[in-house]
Amino acid sequence: MECFSFDKEKIGCKAFNLQVLVKKGFRVPKFIVVAAAIQEKELISRISKLKGRLILRSSASGEDSAENSFAGIYESKVIDKKDNAYSALKELLIKSYSDRVIHYMKMKGIKKKPGMAIIVQEYIQGEVSGVLFTQVNQHGKIGALINANYGGAESVVQGCQCQSYFTRGNSKIDCLSKKQIRALVKIGKKIEKLFGKPQDIEWTINGNKVYILQSRPITAAFNKNLKVWDNSNIAESYSSIVLPLTCSFAKDIYKRVYIDVARTSGISEKKVKENKEVFENLLGFFYGRFYYNMLNWYKMLLLFPGYKRNKHNLEQMIAIRTKADIEEQPRISALFCVKYYIHTLIRYFFFEGTLENFKSHVRDYYSKTSKLHLGEKTLGELLSLYDDFRKELLSRWSVTVDNDFLAMTFFGMLNKSSGNMPQLMADIRNVISAQQVETLYNLSQIFKKTPLLKLAQKGKYKQCYEQIKEYSELQKGIGDYLSKYGGRFANELKLESEDLDSNPAYIVKLLCLYAKAKKRIQNAEKQTHQGYILSRAKHYLRHREELRLLRSQAFSYIRKIFQEIGIKLQKQGLLGNWKDIFYLEVGEIRIFIEGGGSVNLKAIINKRKKDYLKNKKIELPNTFVTEGDKLKPSPIPRDMPKGALNGIGCSSGIVKGKVKILESFALPKTKSYEIVVTKHTDPGWTPLFGLCKGIIVEHGGLLSHAAIISRELNLPCVIGARNATKLLKDGQTVTINGFLGEIKIEK
């Protein structure tokens, strides 16, 4: 290490802290500290002792201090050649006068611009990197919150999804061994003791060595925020194991969409920025499974008037199993409440037009992108198409949340005034997913009139599909079906799922099965009197299903983009198989493409594949709580006693039949199922609904996809039947009561 001064005011807190760490024997990558006014020749001379790639980072006089962190305000720069160092230094100095810096200084009341020095440091390409927050809990024991990710430290800084755990050294993190965790916790204790305050420590691991890249005091009061995790509703969309590409994409969607919801609702930009951590962590990811971070959802709701009402409606809509609340609820000014409700009322009156414009824009966008030849695009161009999607569609997707909010509000009003929700909601008509079932049935009637049916019955689906072109009416019908519903299949929101393009014979198997099925959908809507609240609730739920279909098409397009990226990387020998792309996160792929491909992707992927094989064997609870102190959760409900089996009746009717347990989506081989029992469904399960007599689902609520579609198809359905897949066995005869939610096992 070399510096021109040991004066904190001259070299800045960041450099000063690094020097203290080096002096006390901590492993820090070799660095020098230079003045902002250094001349080029002197800089080149001084960095000659440094090896390999370099990273240049700011070290302002007030940065990383106990009063102000300046975290994320100043920038850093990685360079490959030393002769680029001077231009990189000048670039950092220019950016030290950016609007972001000025805004931070105003927000913190800093009137004098901090003095600036620059750290020039050897860049360590870590195998695993992250951030370690030390803290003292209520029992006086030092613990640590570890955010970790594969790859270099920039993968954490640039926003790739990280694994996050509170630990005292005895936990397991996918990308860290227990030995590495213990080493990090031990280092954290020592550094906290050295500086006398809880620390925010950036680290990276290369080989068996842990390098400390920086350490700064935690400026805000840091608590082990209690987190309540619940997968009740999200398991409908993301069942079982979810791979990293899907996870990172979904987290980005939730963040961007709900930030846009806040902005369009009149929430100030200041409030949005203050709650950045909340928006970025609405979802959690444990051993390959998605969970809602419920307390962050509640914190987000606190930004809007009517917290208790909105919280109650949200809990009903997503049917959460464990409830919690936030002890300290800040008051919202009366002036903002008035502005908010006026703004909301105006938006409500114009909402139908806004929604139709959104749907039209989305369809036009899909029509345009369907004509693209992705195979002709370069890696950079494919990444640009992804960015264009985020700009053109995700920037408007908050309309779908507005529709959900209206459905949630009217449903909540209806539920408050009536206790017979299944019957009230039983005759929703013209739901697009139910129309999918009707379309399949009508197509099957055309299909069964052709010789292709006999060919399909012999299991020759691929051969049958190739001959469809000989029957113009059938070919057109299938083409129209795929154009509208092509993105809809089981696990459609998992980017790693096989789509209809890669498995076209799937449609043939469906038609073969529907040729023997009975028509499910009713032709005429019941002419019953409907009050305003009931009609509005049904109206927005109908829209909700249509918007879900558009969402499936969005995921289908993104799937094709990343499939093509995977294919190109495989051709370049950078992936063993193009499907391995799904084991990488979006941020990692971006860094790799934009950074010129310096990361060993195969090593990362092979490690993750091993981890995911282990994850499949792990069974997680539907809800669990991580430690905290200021937030008070309600008790987590325990599993029902063995033998007890009931749920929520969501679709009227009583049916008796044999049970078929489905751990995942599967079509019957020869005949229709009788009563399907599963943990969760998603919209891609829709074709199966037309092939069974009843449905039992462990997860879900009255507004879940299974509930809505089963009602329109007159299919008795019980949801929220906990442990049904464990307590029932294939072939058992049961009677389900869709009125009362009762499930009776027949002897």
Q: How far is CA 498 from CA 99, 485, 678, 682, in A?
A: 46, 15, 20, 15
DSSP-derived 3-state class of residue 314: helix
Q: Does position 602 have pLDDT exceeding 60, yes or no?
A: yes
Q: Where residue 737 sits, what CATH number does that domain have?
A: 3.50.30.10
Query: 386 or 508, which is more confident?
Result: 386
Please compute the mean of the pLDDT values over residues 714-719 and round it to a whole number: 82
- Tell me the per-residue pLDDT of 236-246, one tens digit each, with 9 for 90 and over: 778 778 999 99
DSSP assignments along 345-410, one per residue: HHHHHTHHHHHHHHHHHHHHHHHHHTT--GGGS-HHHHHHHHHHHIIIIITTTHHHHHHHHHHHHH
Q: Is 118 in the same domain as 12?
A: yes
Question: What mean pLDDT comes out for the span 367-372?
Answer: 89
pLDDT for residue 167? 55
The DSSP call for residue 646 is B
Least confident window among 242-256, 519-533, 614-628? 519-533
Highest mean pLDDT: which of 277-286, 426-435, 641-650, 670-679?
277-286
Collect all residues with Cβ–Cβ distance below 8 Å to 357 and sequence separation of at least 6. Answer: none
Which among 171, 201, 217 is the end of a domain? 217
Task: Indicate the DSSP class of residue 36.
Answer: T
* Stretch 506-520: mean pLDDT: 79
Domain endpoint, select from 336, 354, 388: 336
Burial tier of 545 (Cβ tally within 10 Å: 0-12, 13-18, 19+): buried
- 510-533: string of b/e by CB count within 10 Å (b at 16+)? bbbbbbebeebbeeeeeeeeeeeb
Q: How many CB atoms lie within 10 A of CB 632?
A: 11
- The reply to whether 138 and 114 lie within a common domain is no
Same domain, 148 and 169: yes
Burial of residue 94, with CB atoms counted within 10 A of its CB: 0-12 exposed, 13-18 middle, 19 or more buried: exposed
Torsion of CA 94, 97, 99, 100, to 10 degrees: 90
Q: Which residue has the higher pLDDT, 76 or 303?
A: 303
Residue 421: closest CA among 433, 413, 429: 413
CA distance linking residue 517 with residue 393, whole number of Å: 38
Q: How far apart are the C-alpha atoms of 220 and 217, rounded to whole Å?
A: 9
Cβ partners under 8 Å of residue 440, min gap 6: 481, 510, 511, 514, 687, 690
Q: What was the pLDDT predicted at 157? A: 43
Sign of CA dihedral 17, 22, 27, 31: positive
**φ/ψ bin of 22: left (φ > 0), alpha (ψ from -120 to 50), beta (otherwise):** alpha
Do 120 and 85 meet the contact criterion of CB atoms below 8 Å apart?
A: yes
Domain CATH for 43: 3.30.1490.20
What value does the mean pLDDT take over residues 250-264?
Answer: 91
Examine the pLDDT at 221 and tell me if it is beyond 50: no
pLDDT of residue 730: 87
3-state secondary structure of 473: helix
- Look at residue 171 and tell me if it is in a domain: yes
151: domain CATH number is 3.30.470.20
Q: Give the tens place of pLDDT for each residue, 180-211.
A: 888 888 898 899 889 888 888 889 998 889 99
Is the residue at 193 inside a domain?
yes
| pLDDT number for residue 26 | 94
* In a shared domain, residues 656 and 680: yes
H-type alpha helices, 24-56: 40-46
Q: Are residues 677 and 701 in the same domain?
A: yes
Collapsing DSSP to helix, strand or coil, 524 comes out as coil
DSSP structural state of residue 586: H
User: What pLDDT does residue 6 have?
Assistant: 55
Same domain, yes or no: 110 and 162: no
Domain membership of residue 113 (yes or no) is yes
Specify the range with the lowest mean pLDDT, choosing from 219-228, 563-572, 646-655, 695-704. Answer: 219-228
When pLDDT is cut at 50, 70 and 90, the band that residue 140 belongs to is very low
| Structure tokens that stand for 689 in this block | 């609904």
Average pLDDT, integer, range 620-641 = 47
| Same domain flag for 28 and 87 | yes
| Chain segment 551-574, per-residue pLDDT in tens | 888 888 999 999 999 999 999 999
Task: Give the whole-number percent of the chain exceeding pLDDT 90.
Answer: 15
Phi–psi pair at 26, nearest 5 degrees = -80, 150
Phi, psi angle pair for 180, to nearest 5°: -65, -40
pLDDT score recorded for residue 97: 61
Q: Is residue 580 very low, low, confident or very high in pLDDT (cuts 50, 70, 90)?
A: very high
Whether the per-residue pLDDT at 701 is higher than 80: the answer is: no
Gap between the terminal Cα atoms of the chain? 79
Higher-pLDDT residue of 143, 296 = 296
Clarify whether residues 163 and 202 are in a common domain. Answer: yes
Q: Would the pLDDT of 220 be above 50?
A: no
Q: Which one has a higher pLDDT value, 629 or 164?
A: 164
Q: Domain boundary at 54, 88, 122, which? A: 122
Is the model's pLDDT at 219 over the cut of 70? no
pLDDT at 353: 92
Is residue 150 domain-shared with residue 75, that is, in the same domain? Answer: no
- DSSP bridge pairs for 734: 657, 745
Poorest-pLDDT segment among 328-332, 602-606, 731-735: 328-332
Tell whether the model's pLDDT for residue 370 goes beyond 70. yes
Domain annotation covers residue 690: yes
Q: Residue 632's pLDDT is what? A: 37
Instruction: Using DSSP, state whether 562 is helix, strand or coil.
Output: helix
| Residue numbers of the domain that contains 165 | 128-217
Q: Would you state the pLDDT for residue 179? A: 86
Contacts 24+ apart (CB under 8 A), 688-694: 689/437, 689/520, 689/713, 689/715, 690/437, 690/440, 690/441, 690/514, 690/517, 690/520, 691/513, 691/514, 691/517, 691/667, 692/660, 693/655, 693/657, 694/653, 694/655, 694/657, 694/736, 694/738
Rg (CA), the chain: 29
Residues 19, 71 within the same domain: yes
Asked if the structure places residue 582 within a domain, the reply is no
Q: What is the pLDDT of residue 223?
A: 40
Tally the domains of the chain. 4
Give pLDDT tens digits for 308-354.
888 877 777 676 766 666 656 677 888 989 998 898 899 889 999 99
Inter-residue contact 508 to 459 (CB < 8 Å): no
Q: Is the pLDDT of residue 419 over 60?
A: no
The answer to whether position 429 is within a domain reads no
Please tell me the distance from the alpha carbon of residue 484 to that of residue 552, in angstroms, as a whole number: 10
Average confidence score pLDDT of the chain: 78
Residues 6+ apart with CB under 8 A from 143: 134, 135, 136, 137, 166, 167, 168, 185, 224
Q: Are residue 268 and residue 210 in the same domain, yes or no?
A: no
Both structure tokens of 640: 């029902």
- Mean of pLDDT values over 236-259: 88
* Per-residue pLDDT, 579: 93
Annotate 114-180 with DSSP letters as a single string.
PPEEEEEEEPP--SEEEEEEEEE-TTS-EEEEEEEEES-THHHHTT---EEEEESS---BTTB-HHH
Nearest by Cα to 355 from 323, 310, 396? 396
Residue 395 domain flag: no
Coil, strand or helix at 216: strand
Of the two residues 291 and 628, the one the predictor is more confident about is 291
Q: Which of 216-220, 245-249, 398-402 has the lowest mean pLDDT?
A: 216-220
- For residues 179 and 97, membership in a common domain is answered with no
Region 7-33 average pLDDT:
85
- Tokens linked to 403: 């529709």
Please give the angle made by the CA atoms of 700, 703 and 708, to the nearest 5 degrees.
100
More confident residue, 61 or 196: 196
Q: Is the pLDDT of residue 59 over 90?
A: no
In which band, very low, low, confident or very high, does the pLDDT at 721 lie, cut at 50, 70 and 90? confident
Predicted pLDDT at 55? 87
Residue 528 lies in a domain: no
What average pLDDT does this structure show over 613-626?
73
Beta bridge partners, 206, equal 209
- What is the percent of the chain with per-residue pLDDT over 70, rounded to a whole number? 78
Q: Is the pLDDT reported for residue 115 higher than 50?
A: yes
